Amino acid sequence: MEKVYLPTRQYRIVEVLAKDKSIDIVELAKKLNVKPEDIMRDLAELESLGLLRVERRIIQEPIITEEGMIVLQKGLPEERVYRVIHRCINEKINEFMKCVSNEAEMDPIHVKIGLQHLIRNNCLRIENRIVKINDDQGCFKALEEAAYIKAALKEVSEGKPVNDSLLSMLKRRKMVKTEKKKKLIINASPKLLELYDRGLIVEKELATVVYPKMAEELDKYIIKEFDLSISPPRLKAARLNAYMEFLDLVREILVSMGFEEVKGPHVELEFWNFDALFQAQDHPAREIHDTFFLKTEYKGKVLEELLERAKKIHEKGWNYQWNPLRALRPILRSQTTAVSVRTIYERGEGEYRVFSLDRVFRPETLDAKHAMEFYQLDGIIVGRNVNFKHLLAFFKEFAAALGIKEVWFKPGYFPFTEPSVEGFIKHPELGWIEVFPGGVFRPEVMEILGAPGIRAIAWGIGIDRLAMSVLGLNDIRDLFNKDLDFLRKMPSPKLPYFLTRTNSREVRVVKIPR
């Protein structure tokens, strides 16, 4: 057999495999003091030489839960209950639980769990609703079992394997959960083992460029050959982000329905965001948990006549002292409805359709369906004869243009519309999600804006959630993913139905069973 010459890192991989025979790529990378991705090319080259085989497995990897982290820090519930048991024993069960909760700083649920395990192991008993010590041997057994469980949990946290029965117990007690994970196992081939044992695998320095001074000692190097017949990889053509494509298509649909796009500032006054919408100044939505307030000395300006009209209508309708200074405070707008009311104030009476598709800001908790900064599609249809039926017809027509087959409507409540509606669509993974909130602007809103007697139907559509459904995403955070590979794989939005007057028949309004 001929000798095989390998560069330094590939030779070190062979050394590890000759000893371990089979190893996980993460462990291999640790032994080489490199990242797993750094050795992928080396593994491919060694596999092409027949020296190893890369095996891909899907495993269920145990992950410590929040409950498990609490146990690692403070102990199991039965241990924590037992530590303070001498201060609370011989009390009625309710008093016992309160005592333990205070002494051990435990919530009632964990006190109950600890009590149940101590009773199960015959450490405690309940007699005439009084908690008593039953058997010291039972207490020793309970603590021994707890120590055994905690030791297994610690091994999981350190990445060590535990047997299936212990893992099942940890999962049952919600200390551990399992997640699917791809695992690469590197296996030494018989060829590698034979060549290595016979000393036929030799380490040499890799050279990708040959200099004249190296001419006399080329035998010291592995000369990296270049195959000029292989075409270099092509760069993928640039494309718009699929989400941006979706937003542009939404704009096209609305323009085809006779709407005009309008814009407004991101930093808005409370007046346009709330007060012009007849939203009382003590409404919960105007507090810090729903609105971003700006720390600045800047105070906006609104015409005195408009402020006086708002003051009169607010105080008459809500029966409180309206504060114009609060109305002039700057905020990050929480709804693009602020753009709609600005438009009504500027255009007044008449018939027009406008929409605003832009970002809004709310202090939400980031999850699969919520974000702190997101796009909202706001729109209004203004005229003397528009009514609530026109709003429902618009939602159905718009849903049809997006290829959405099922829409569920239920009565809703918003401070500035009456009647109001909430429309839901069916997401294949997340279930029914709200995307179509809207209603008819209250007369007080139109009066504040200087258009009494005129009607306006309005909506603030959760366009990000609509995009999730059209693009086949399960997590709203993926709309702003920075991973280029992920973005390239995102499908371009396809609107299967172009807008026509018959499209609304394609939408099936469904009733959800309670």
Contact (CB, 8 A) for 183 and 59 = yes
pLDDT for the residue numbered 499: 42
Whether residue 1 is predicted with pLDDT greater than 60 in this model: the reply is yes
For residue 333, the surrounding DSSP H or E stretch is: none
What are the tokens at 348?
A: 């007044």
> Before 419, cis peptide (omega within 30)?
yes
pLDDT for the residue numbered 504: 41
Contact residues for 85 (Cβ-Cβ < 8 A; gap 6+): 100, 124, 133
| Report field, pTM of the whole predicted structure over 0.75 | no
Between the alpha carbon of residue 129 and those of residues 106, 111, 126, 244, 407, the distances in Å are: 21, 16, 6, 64, 54
Average pLDDT over residues 311-336: 88
d(CA 276, CA 451): 12
What are the tokens at 457?
A: 């139907």
Q: What angle in degrees, to the nearest 10, is found between the helix axes of 66-74 and 136-157? A: 120
Written as one letter, the residue type at 139 is: C
Comparing 291 with 299, which gets the higher pLDDT? 291
pLDDT for the residue numbered 266: 87
At 38-80, the pLDDT tens digits run 899 889 989 998 999 999 888 888 889 999 999 999 999 999 9
Q: 49: closest CA among 2, 107, 109?
A: 2
Contact residues for 492 (Cβ-Cβ < 8 A; gap 6+): 239, 242, 245
Contact residues for 468 (Cβ-Cβ < 8 A; gap 6+): 427, 430, 433, 474, 475, 476, 478, 479
Between the alpha carbon of residue 39 and those of residues 14, 221, 224, 418, the distances in Å are: 12, 20, 17, 64
Contact (CB, 8 A) for 56 and 182 = yes
Written as one letter, the residue type at 177 is: K
At 408-453, the pLDDT tens digits run 899 988 888 999 999 998 887 778 888 889 999 999 999 999 888 8
Strand segments (E) across 67-115: none
Domain locations along the chain:
4-62+178-207, 66-165, 243-264+336-509
d(CA 240, CA 232): 25
89 half-sphere exposure, CB direction, 13 A CA radius: 13
For residue 22, name the pLDDT band (cuts at 50, 70, 90).
Answer: very high
Contact residues for 358 (Cβ-Cβ < 8 A; gap 6+): 263, 264, 266, 336, 339, 375, 376
Pick the CATH number of 66-165 from 1.10.10.10, 3.40.190.10, 1.20.1050.140, 3.90.226.10: 1.10.10.10
Buried b (16+ CB within 10 A) or exposed e, 114-152: bbebbbebebbeeeeeebeebeeebbeebbebbeebbeb
Comparing 258 with 222, which gets the higher pLDDT? 258
Whether residue 137 is predicted with pLDDT greater than 60 in this model: the reply is yes
pLDDT for the residue numbered 341: 92
Burial of residue 435 (number of CB atoms within 10 Å: 0-12, 13-18, 19+): buried
At 308-321, the pLDDT tens digits run 999 999 988 888 89
Contact (CB, 8 A) for 104 and 186 = no
Contact (CB, 8 A) for 406 and 507 = yes
Pseudo-torsion of CA 354, 357, 363, 368, nearest 10°?
130
Identify the CATH class of 4-62+178-207. mainly alpha
pLDDT for the residue numbered 389: 92
Least confident span in 214-218, 259-263, 381-385: 214-218
Contact residues for 209 (Cβ-Cβ < 8 A; gap 6+): none
pLDDT for the residue numbered 439: 93
Average pLDDT over residues 124-136: 89
Q: Do the domains 243-264+336-509 and 66-165 match in fold?
A: no
Ramachandran angles phi, psi of 185, nearest 5°: -110, 130
Pick the CATH number of 243-264+336-509 from 3.40.50.300, 3.20.20.140, 3.30.930.10, 3.40.1280.10: 3.30.930.10
At 161-220, the pLDDT tens digits run 888 888 888 999 999 998 888 888 999 999 999 999 988 888 888 777 777 777 777 777
pLDDT for the residue numbered 279: 87
d(CA 372, CA 392): 28
Whether residue 342 is predicted with pLDDT greater than 60 in this model: the reply is yes
SS percent in the chain: helix, strand, coil, step 5: 45, 25, 30
d(CA 114, CA 81): 6
Rg (CA), the chain: 34
- HEC string of 206-252 equals EECCCCHHHHHHHHHEEECCCCCCCCCCCCCCCCCCHHHHHHHHHHH
- Please give the order of strands across the beta sheet that includes 22-24: 22-24, 176-188, 52-64
For residue 371, name the pLDDT band (cuts at 50, 70, 90).
Answer: low
Q: In this structure, are strands 330-332 and 267-269 parallel, antiparallel, or unpaired?
A: antiparallel
Residue 124 three-state SS: strand
d(CA 201, CA 203): 7
